[in-house]
Amino acid sequence: MLLNGLETVGVVESDNVTAGNFGLVFEDAATVSIDGAQEFTLRFKAVKSGKLSEMLGVSGSITRAEAYGGAGRLGVAFRFSGKTISGVGFELYQNQPNPFVNKTSIGFFLPEAAEVTLSIFDETGRMVYQQKGQFAKGENTIALDRALLNTTGMLYYKLETATDSDTKKMIQAK
């Protein structure tokens, strides 16, 4: 959960929700994991002025934003006055595992189906691998094999669509 201009000050506990459900709290984000509750109350203190609907956001950049119900996997969003104002947008996740020896997976979320370009660069900025393809709206994964990269050490991977892009680091160990 993104907290732009908000500071967490407490959790209203219930049968299925305690302070233990809230993990890491960063300067502008917090993680939450809850099983068996459809809602929770988190108290904030505003540290700058603004609209609450613009100060809260959903993100999968630290932990994946996901929910499950009777129909399976559900979307995660905030609603204000009955309107969904913040769902998960384009996000590039950290590769898993990292560091890796033989194989790794790069996950990402697309708010709409799109053509995606994954580029991998070595420490000098030289492109060592590139893959393009059409990917569906939602969660996606690209599997990488060591043989495709033909290099070791610190690498950078960049994921691009027509409207978005992000870059992260990964380590390919011997």
Q: Give 101-157 pLDDT, tens digit per residue.
A: 999 999 988 889 999 999 999 999 999 999 999 999 888 999 999 988 888 899 999
Which is higher by pLDDT, 174 or 1? 174
Q: Which of 172, 24, 10 is nearest to 95 (CA)?
A: 172
Bridge partners for 169 per DSSP: 156
Token code pair at residue 77: 């969003």
- pLDDT over 70 (residue 174): yes
Q: Are residue 146 and residue 118 in the same domain, yes or no? A: yes
Q: Are residue 103 and residue 167 in the same domain, yes or no? A: yes
Q: Are residue 98 and residue 28 in the same domain, yes or no? A: no
Q: Which residues of 92-103 are buried (b: 16+ CB within 10 A; e: fewer)?
A: bbebeeeebeee
Token code pair at residue 36: 């068996």
Per-residue model confidence (pLDDT) at position 2: 73
Q: Are residue 79 and residue 6 in the same domain, yes or no? A: yes
pLDDT digit string, tens, across residues 54-87: 788 777 667 766 677 666 666 666 767 666 555 6
Q: Which helix (H) or strand (E) holds 120?
A: strand 114-122
pTM of the predicted structure, to 2 decimals: 0.63
Q: How many CB atoms lie within 10 A of CB 30?
A: 18
Q: Are residue 33 and residue 57 in the same domain, yes or no? A: yes
Number of domains the chain contains: 2
What is the distance of C-alpha 88 from the center of its chain? 8
Per-residue model confidence (pLDDT) at position 25: 64
168 three-state secondary structure? strand
Per-residue model confidence (pLDDT) at position 17: 84
Q: Are residue 66 and residue 11 in the same domain, yes or no? A: yes
Q: Which of 94, 168, 154, 150 is nearest to 124 (CA)?
A: 154
- pLDDT over 90 (residue 99): yes
5/50 Cα distance (integer angstroms): 8
Domain with 9, as residue range(s), is 2-87
43/48 Cα distance (integer angstroms): 15
Domain end (from 58, 87, 116): 87
Domain end (from 87, 104, 130): 87
Domain end (from 87, 106, 130): 87
Per-residue model confidence (pLDDT) at position 93: 87
Q: Are residue 62 and residue 132 in the same domain, yes or no? A: no
